[in-house]
Structure 1
Amino acid sequence: MRPLKLVPDNTNIPFLKWRNVAMGLSLLLIIGSIVLCFVKGFNLGIDFVGGQQTRVTFSQPVDVETLRQRVEALGYGEATIQRSGDTTEYSVRTPLPEGGEEAANKAASAIRTTIQQAYPGAQVAGAQSVSGKVSEELFRNGAISLTLAMLAIALYIWFRFEWQFGVGALFALFHDVALTLGFFALTQLEFDLNIVAAILTIIGYSLNDTIVVYDRIRENMRKYRKMEMGELLDLSINETLSRTVVTSLSIGIVLAVLLLLGPDVIFGFTAAMLLGIVIGTFSSVYVSAAILLWLRLKPDSFLPKEATGPKGAERTDSVDFKDMP
């Protein structure tokens, strides 16, 4: 029985024919995502804003404004009500009361009692408390971790390949992160530490896919030194297309199942991962490869140094042709 092939052998799809359209779309999405982040902001979870959060599942639809008024009547400050998952599950966030753990437990107990008395059948999953100082540290450390991860990756690729590859990889990672952040600003899904973990995972996945394509580009540059760069890039992408499609599709199926059937507590993480797989696959094909043309990468970038004379003239007698087809 012959194995199933999702991508036929010897594909010859002219991906870079549409590079200007793809890059223009990417730039528009990046700009739109940045604008959304500044205009709408994020629905920051308790990890980043501090306070106390109580998750409640109601047995019937509730009026959010009425629920907010009843919680605020307890005197613990302004309440933020956020629906999560289906239409009957909500998170109730209030400022953390002064007095330490004892005061926090008392406030959680009062909120639970009030909700259960006003809404018979409501199930309170529990309360979580994070101090303001801890939340500030978490937000700062999360932002630093994302920035350092992207810079370290760009430096690695710079030394591993050429500077054009480092710039291309860094732009592709910025593209993936910006679009993911824009998605959370648009949908107002809760943005917590789970989402930071998802973005770091997206960076790792996108980088892995990009390096596979870059490594094939470098190999082909050594083999086909007289081939036009656009044609060489298309060849490299097509040669790695089967691996890219199979990997992305297998991970995407698992994430889609988790998104539909998984618990609500990982809904945001799963949504970020699924979006990141789609964006990362797109960027490894159109963004990271296409940008090499604009950075004027040339087919002779990997010629051995001894292949050129003192004035830069090519010396064909010293070139190693063992990798030539």
Structure 2
Amino acid sequence: MHSKIHYDFIKNRNLFFIGSILITLVGLVMLVIATISPSVDFLHYGVDFKAGTTIDLTIGKTVDKAEVEKLFQDAGHSPSVLTIGGNNDRVSARFDETLNDDSVKQVTGAFTQAYGSGVSAEISAVSPDMATEMGRKAIMAVAIASLCICLYVTIRFEWRFAVSAIITILYDAFFVLSIFSIFRFEVDLPFVAAVLTTIGYSINDKIVILDRIRENMRFAKIKTEEDLADVVNHSIWQTMGRSINTVITVLFAAVSLFIFGSEAIKLFALAKIFGLVSGVYSSICLATPLWYLLRKRKIHAPQKPVLTTNP
């Protein structure tokens, strides 16, 4: 091995396992609480998965929240959730009911009259049947994508590589779900797209590292657990530059979208940020140690006796 080991990931694997288990447990606790209490949702569903109407208004000038609330009241429709974003010049309002065209015109007309013709609006309305259908299709999309990735990894690598990769990509997806559940961020269709791209990015990063381990194993003489740990650590550091450079490049784009993008894509960018960080972390700190734990059993496995026949 030619790369220098700066940090022993295998030796410190229990720290990563404990931290990841704690995050997973918090997410599971939120799920249990939501299951027990009908008044609490595991996720804060957006209008895509919960019937209603969302109106995003770009005002073009600084607005006051109290004044905005009064405009909605005067229009006869008060939102259940009201957010002032951007430089206090963007208004996002969510209504639990599906507003008809006349109601939407009343709301947008009130803002146009108050702030001028420069006001622009984006309307998103979802009926109860459509919300149920989109929720079902979103679950199917995530399930099919995960199944296809699992099949690919199983065929492409040995079963130990497949198991460690599958467990950790599921962890990545659940990590993003847990963060959004804990902080009550809104979950909509862009969030599902972010989870799917997180799964794709994560498996790509894991395959790069696991494939390097496989290549190094072809030329390594593994006699002890220390020999195996040395191969894994060197493989991680040989691909570290690629992993860091890739995640920084994509993170730069995701952070730019979050800072400078419209309100409609901010949560998509935020989910991408969490997913990218989790993907590179799980690839380096979880997938490879998991494979090490599975593979080291083979070192201590009793060898099958070789049968010989006397002439």
TM-score range, shorter chain: 0.7 to 0.9
Instruction: For residues 263-309 of structure 1, give each alpha carbon's deviation from its aligned partner in whole angstroms, at most 9, with x where no partner exists.
Output: 33221111111221111100000111111233345577xxxxxxxx9
| Stretch deviating more after TM superposition (16-25 or 53-62) | 53-62
Instruction: Tell me, yes or no, if the aligned pair for 2:84 and 2:90 is still in contact at 8 Å.
Output: yes
Instruction: For residues 101-151 of structure 1, give each alpha carbon's deviation from its aligned partner in whole angstroms, at most 9, with x where no partner exists.
Output: xx721121122234556x556935132222211111111111121122222
* Distance in 2 separating the partners of 1:34 and 1:171: 16
* Distance in 2 separating the partners of 1:133 and 1:123: 31
The DSSP-based 3-state class of the residue aligned with 1:157 is helix
* Number of residue pairs aligned between Structure 1 and Structure 2: 290
Alignment partner, residue 287 of structure 2 = 288
* Distance in 2 separating the partners of 1:114 and 1:242: 55
Alignment partner, residue 53 of structure 1 = 54
Instruction: For residues 72-102 of structure 1, give each alpha carbon's deviation from its aligned partner in whole angstroms, at most 9, with x where no partner exists.
Output: x83x6x73223163345332222455xxxxx
The DSSP-based 3-state class of the residue aligned with 2:4 is coil
Alignment partner, residue 82 of structure 1 = 82
Is residue 2:214 matched to residue 1:211?
Answer: no
Q: Which runs of 4+ in 1 moved over 6 A?
A: none
Cα distance, 1:45 vs structure 2? 1.8
Is residue 2:25 matched to residue 1:31?
Answer: yes
Give the counterpart letter for 2:73 in structure 1.
R
* Distance in 2 separating the partners of 1:281 and 1:173: 11
Instruction: Tell me, yes or no, if the aligned pair for 2:108 and 2:121 is still in contact at 8 Å.
Output: no
Is residue 2:58 matched to residue 1:62?
Answer: no
- Of the three residues 22, 31, 41, the one matched with 2:16 is 22
**Cα 1:163–1:230 shift into 2, 3 Å:** same
Is residue 2:101 matched to residue 1:105?
Answer: yes
Structure 2-normalised TM-score? 0.82
Cα distance, 1:189 vs structure 2? 2.8
Instruction: Tell me, yes or no, if the aligned pair for 2:255 and 2:273 is still in contact at 8 Å.
Output: yes
* Distance in 2 separating the partners of 1:153 and 1:30: 22
The DSSP-based 3-state class of the residue aligned with 1:127 is strand
Alignment partner, residue 179 of structure 2 = 183
| Stretch deviating more after TM superposition (186-195 or 32-41) | 32-41
Instruction: Tell me, yes or no, if the aligned pair for 1:229 and 1:299 is still in contact at 8 Å.
Output: no
Alignment partner, residue 241 of structure 1 = 240
The DSSP-based 3-state class of the residue aligned with 1:166 is helix
Is residue 2:88 matched to residue 1:92?
Answer: no
CA RMSD of superposed structures (Å): 3.0
Give the counterpart letter for 1:247 in structure 2.
T
Cα distance, 1:312 vs structure 2? 5.2
The DSSP-based 3-state class of the residue aligned with 1:16 is coil
- Of the three residues 150, 154, 160, the one matched with 1:154 is 150
* Distance in 2 separating the partners of 1:20 and 1:69: 54
Alignment partner, residue 44 of structure 1 = 45
The DSSP-based 3-state class of the residue aligned with 1:79 is coil
Instruction: Structure 2: give runs of 5+ residues left out of the alignment.
Output: 35-39
Instruction: Tell me, yes or no, if the aligned pair for 2:71 and 2:111 is still in contact at 8 Å.
Output: no
- Of the three residues 136, 139, 145, the one matched with 2:135 is 139
The DSSP-based 3-state class of the residue aligned with 2:65 is coil
* Distance in 1 separating the partners of 2:229 and 2:307: 23
Give the counterpart letter for 2:237 in structure 1.
N
Alignment of 1:270-281 (within 5 A): 270-281=269-280
Instruction: For residues 237-273 of structure 1, give each alpha carbon's deviation from its aligned partner in whole angstroms, at most 9, with x where no partner exists.
Output: 1111121111112222222222222333221111111
Instruction: Tell me, yes or no, if the aligned pair for 1:68 and 1:81 is still in contact at 8 Å.
Output: no
**Cα 1:221–1:265 shift into 2, 3 Å:** same
Instruction: For residues 211-232 of structure 1, give each alpha carbon's deviation from its aligned partner in whole angstroms, at most 9, with x where no partner exists.
Output: 1111111112221132532222
Instruction: For residues 176-198 of structure 1, give each alpha carbon's deviation from its aligned partner in whole angstroms, at most 9, with x where no partner exists.
Output: 11111122223333221111111
* Distance in 1 separating the partners of 2:84 and 2:170: 28
Instruction: Tell me, yes or no, if the aligned pair for 2:80 and 2:96 is still in contact at 8 Å.
Output: no
| Stretch deviating more after TM superposition (172-181 or 48-57) | 48-57
Alignment partner, residue 12 of structure 1 = 5
Alignment of 1:246-325 (within 5 A): 246-297=245-296, 311=304, 313=306
Alignment of 1:188-207 (within 5 A): 188-207=184-203
**Cα 1:244–1:92 shift into 2, 3 Å:** same
Cα distance, 1:159 vs structure 2? 2.2
* Distance in 2 separating the partners of 1:84 and 1:195: 21
Structure 1-normalised TM-score? 0.78
